[in-house]
Structure 1
């Protein structure tokens, strides 16, 4: 396919010669008219080529504009995503800060940097360790809720056993009724509170907090909310399914109580 832009030198020379012949006063009118008739077809072709060149240039300009627009849209989408992520992170940090300011305790903020990939344990790795005075057994919270406890410490990192792990057992109390029971992790399904009195008045929506018994967690930390209550397999006690206050699956920032 012949590309018009490659014929520009030929076209320019032809137009130059035609201009001299057609518009110069040294040639007679009759000669110019005859020449015009001869040049009619080539000039029409040239005119078409020029229009085509203009269209090609316009098309290329449009392509460039479209490319720039697409790049601008992509950049705006990235900025919007970054802004959204920053907003969400600020909200999480604000909750941590609010909790920190409301309690007269010392905290060490930390980031979750890894999770147990096997799925056999509900544990995470945080970016704080002995260097930051983190010790085994320290309580880990997020927002206003209980997240877990430190079970291993390195110099710069620590391993946290989350409350939803099967090996996580501790004592809790229903805030409204003051019924106590043993809370244990149930992995993906959350928590279960066992050994509640068969005649207890525990209901869906009740808040459950740590009781402070047995020295695992200090008293008064929010664990979660009751979502259902039913008798256990023996019929002697009631079990309460609890939705953790902390979204364990989306844990990113935490506070370690020192």
Structure 2
């Protein structure tokens, strides 16, 4: 009686549950030992299990690999973009330097060409008083002047003609010690005796406020000038020696023409100052009949 009273909390279901747990634990242990022995004695027996597990894990592995490759690709893209940017900046800098060097080389070539033209003039024509750089000009003013880098110490005097390699620029108006002021042929106070090469049509070229020249013919009547005619110095009255290019006719008028100067001071770097031309002296030098 007393023994029955000491087991009131135990039930048959509880006993079965505990027994089942023990049996399962013992059975699991036995199965584990058996599988362990099999794997040790025959490793190839569980190949099917490993392959099955690999097949099951394949999708997860592929997702992981794609994610890893994608992340690596993004890093490579960013790194490549940074490298490309730095390389592009370096190439741009090299291109800028190359362009600057090319521009400098072209400027030197152009300057040498102009100097050679002046040297050619010096060798073929009369000996110039001085060669100088045209420092500046006033192309937008109502008066047209220029400043050259040669003065009294170089033998420059008032009235001497000034020309470039392409044509007449003007004449010396004022002389300083190291510089001289030049009255350009486009100034309203400048009058140059000219002639047309073809047909020897004579006239005078006077500067205008707009930078062109107005050509007026000496002989009135039918105007023989045509657009494109070259006007050169005639040598009449002295000062300017003959056959120096002055202007090209652009528009024909009733008694002359409007002409565009050949030697534009704005596009001229170097000029030559020549001695005042005297027709009788030149004639004596050529024929040997009249002494200077």
Picking from 126, 149, 153, the partner of 2:171 is: 149
CA deviation vs aligned residue, 1:14-40 (integer Å, no higher than 9, x gap):
xxxxxxxxxxxxxxxxxxxxxxxxxx9
Distance in 2, Cα, partners of 1:157 & 1:142: 17
Q: Using the TM superposition, give the Cα deviation of residue 44 of structure 1 relative to its aligned residue in structure 2, in angstroms.
A: 10
Q: 2:191 aligns with which of 147, 159, 169?
A: 169
1:240 to 244, 257, 265: 257
Output aligned runs, 1:1-258, within 5 Å.
54-116=76-138, 119-199=141-221, 202-204=224-226, 205-231=228-254, 238-258=255-275
Partners in 2 of 1:206 and 1:57 — Cα distance? 68
| Range that drifts further, 126-135 or 93-102 | 93-102
The answer to whether the 8 Å contact 1:179/1:200 transfers is no
Q: Distance in 1 between matches of 2:90 and 2:71?
A: 28
Q: What is the RMSD of the two structures over their aligned residues, measured on CA atoms?
A: 3.0
- How far apart in 1 are the matches of 2:245 and 2:138? 25
How many residue pairs get matched?
A: 216
Structure 1, residues 86-138: CA drift from partner, whole Å, max 9, x if none? Answer: 23323322322222221132342211212237612111111111121111111
Please name the residue that 2:14 is paired with: none
Deviation, 1:69, is 0.4
Q: Report the 3-state secondary structure (helix = DSSP H, G, I; strand = E; otherwise coil) of the residue aligned with 2:263.
A: coil
Structure 2 unmatched ranges of 5 or more: 1-60, 276-292
Return the alpha-carbon distance in structure 1 between the equivalents of residues 168 and 86 of structure 2.
55
**Contact between 1:196 and 1:239, CA under 8 Å: does it hold in 2?**
no
Q: Which is strand-richer, 1 or 2?
A: 1
Mapped partners of 1:113, 1:184: distance in 2: 24
Alignment partner of 1:81: what SS? Answer: helix
Largest Rg, 1 or 2: 2
- The alpha carbon displacement at 1:144 in A equals 3.5
Cα 1:46–1:149 change in 2 (3 A) is same
Alpha-carbon distance in 2 for matches of 1:63, 1:76: 20
When normalised by structure 1's length, the TM-score is: 0.71
Structure with bigger RCO (C-alpha 8 Å, 6+ apart): 1
Residues 93, 253 of structure 1: 8 Å contact kept: yes
Contact 2:142–2:209 (CA under 8 A) maintained in structure 1:
no
- The alignment's TM-score, normalised by the length of structure 2, stands at 0.63
